[in-house]
Amino acid sequence: MNKNERIKADKDGLDVHDALMRAAREGWESLDDADTARLKWYGLYPHNTKDGFFMLRTKVVQGVLSADQAAVMASIAEDFGRGIIDCTTRQCFQIHWITLDDVPEIFRRLDACGLTTTGACGDIVRNVVGCTLAGIAHDQIVDGAATADALHEHFLGNRLYSNLPRKFKISVTGCAEDCARGLINDVALSGAIHPDGTRGFNLRVGGGLSSHPRFARALDVFVSPQETPEVIEGVVAMFRDSDENRQKRGKARIKFLVDAMGPEDFRAEVERRVGRELRHAAPQQPDMLGHDHIGVTQQADGEHSAVGFCVPVGRLRAAQLAELARLAREFASTPEVRLTHQQNVLLPNIPDDRVEELMGTELAQQLSPRPTLFTRGMQSCTGKEFCGLAKVYTKERAKEISAFLDEHVTPNGHGEDFRLHFAGCSSSCAQHQIADIGIEGVLKKVEGEFVEAMDIRIGGRLGPDPRFGEHVIRKVPHWDLNETLLRIFTVYETNHAEGETFRTFAARTPADWWTEQLTPEEVGA
């Protein structure tokens, strides 16, 4: 039994609450290493400096907050997190610089407004993600938000599923676009209409990134919203009970169980656990691209719009979040703030005749609904600033990269939804394998010293024909990164066909061709 499994076997992660409250009174040093690891079950990670500061993650189901909840999050970031709050790729909030003595007050504020950190981290069912426009989009097939809420409530604090081999991620979308990045989740529920007329979801299982990326595989299963909690419980129970998944931490995700069993046997076992035959999948043709919802989107009622604001590298000032909450109250018929999969924010329910007024506010100048190409496309993880796994610093570097490219590259057919993702390590919190250009932080030895460097992938994408980006050049020292990226765009601009986007061009050009184009010629060669 490995160290992580021993920690969970000795005490359930949810049982660390008393030790956490004691540490809030007596100091973080009173926690042993095992209980420090268990704090993840309540959304707390120690900073990599291990000096008493923590990151706190709060669940936001499908990224939907009331204006009041957004204001509470802003107050927590202002009072306890040095005025900064990060948006994640799973529609959550993260606040750094938290000390444990402040946790009781933070939990009190969250509980009072209906938010929680329980299960935000740890080997447990994580935040349920979905379409940012759930319930208000013009192309909704089924109410994905209601199903996401039902799954959240079903697994929240549920001790039957609080000791899983690793984290477990669920995506639910009821819209025709299937924009919730289901392909890279452990479970993906995608809106569909069964031939018998039932509106519900097709089920895919076993997606995930990191060092062994997989796209979720179809199980040929259709479930109604009413069936969903029971069926997903069966899937999670299979994962929980898989001893093989607990042998090696690096292969403890459900994607490896699907690899071993195959979709057909996996489906049969789900049916056995549920105790009945399940309907076969419904016809479905979503584009599965993962739209960012930046700008103005007309809502289904024809009278309101959603306005998506670009948050550079996903980092907000607490004052900006407070202002978003205030603007939601001033402009929206139903005041909400929503978080997207690309670390941005959206204000829905804006009467059409007030959209331009909202677009003219000071905040809209800071977080533009009409951002430049590379500021819009950049997505980054926490990086070495706080994370012990990261090899390189990401957030400020990502801002520099975006600014450099926006200055030196003229958008010319690259594609409005171009994506440039920057991850600090192979764990892929920034999802760099599905980006048009993915950057991964590594280390390189130069003159006897290790320096920050980056591996670069090209050609990742979601959609009907998904693929993971392939390495085209490795260990680019950080001082050469900007110019290397510039060469990539020069290669594209020099060689692409008329009207061909970067994504389409990358799909037809092999990795070794890119490597040949990008490898510097040796002096004197």
Q: Are residues 156 and 56 in the same domain?
A: no
Question: Is 125 contained in some domain?
Answer: no
Q: Are residues 149 and 93 in the same domain?
A: no
What pLDDT is attached to residue 284? 78
What pLDDT is attached to residue 188? 96
Q: Are residues 147 and 260 in the same domain?
A: yes
515, containing H or E segment: helix 511-518
Task: Phi first, then psi: give them for residue 39, nearest 5 degrees.
Answer: -55, -25
- Residue 54 belongs to what domain range? 3-113
Q: Are residues 93 and 181 in the same domain?
A: no
Q: How many domains is the chain partitioned into structurally? A: 4
Question: Is 184 contained in some domain?
Answer: yes
Distance CA 391, CA 249 (A): 20
What pLDDT is attached to residue 185? 97
Computed from CA positions of residues 105, 109, 111, 116, in that sequence, does the dihedral angle turn out positive or negative? negative
439, containing H or E segment: strand 437-446
Model pLDDT for residues 58-69, shown as the tens digit of each residue: 999 999 999 999
Distance CA 473, CA 480 (A): 12
CA angle at 326 for the pair 93 and 181, rounded to the nearest 5°: 35
Q: Are residues 249 and 300 in the same domain?
A: no
Please report, rounded to a whole number, the percentage of residues in the chain having pLDDT higher than 70: 98
Question: Is 123 contained in some domain?
Answer: no
Q: Are residues 194 and 252 in the same domain?
A: yes
Q: Are residues 357 and 387 in the same domain?
A: no
Calculate mean pLDDT across residues 177-186.
88
Model pLDDT for residues 208-239, shown as the tens digit of each residue: 999 899 999 999 999 999 999 999 999 999 99
The overall average pLDDT reported for the chain is: 95
Q: Are residues 354 and 381 in the same domain?
A: no
Question: Is 279 contained in some domain?
Answer: no
Model pLDDT for residues 359-416, shown as the tens digit of each residue: 999 999 999 999 999 999 999 999 999 999 999 999 999 999 999 999 999 988 888 8
Model pLDDT for residues 277-323, shown as the tens digit of each residue: 999 999 876 666 667 889 999 999 999 999 999 999 999 999 999 99
Model pLDDT for residues 473-485, shown as the tens digit of each residue: 999 999 999 999 9
Q: Are residues 385 and 502 in the same domain?
A: yes
Q: What is the value of pTM for the model shown?
A: 0.95
Model pLDDT for residues 138-168, shown as the tens digit of each residue: 788 999 999 999 999 999 999 999 999 999 9
Please report, rounded to a whole number, the percentage of residues in the chain having pLDDT higher than 90: 92
Quick check: 25 pLDDT over 80? Answer: yes
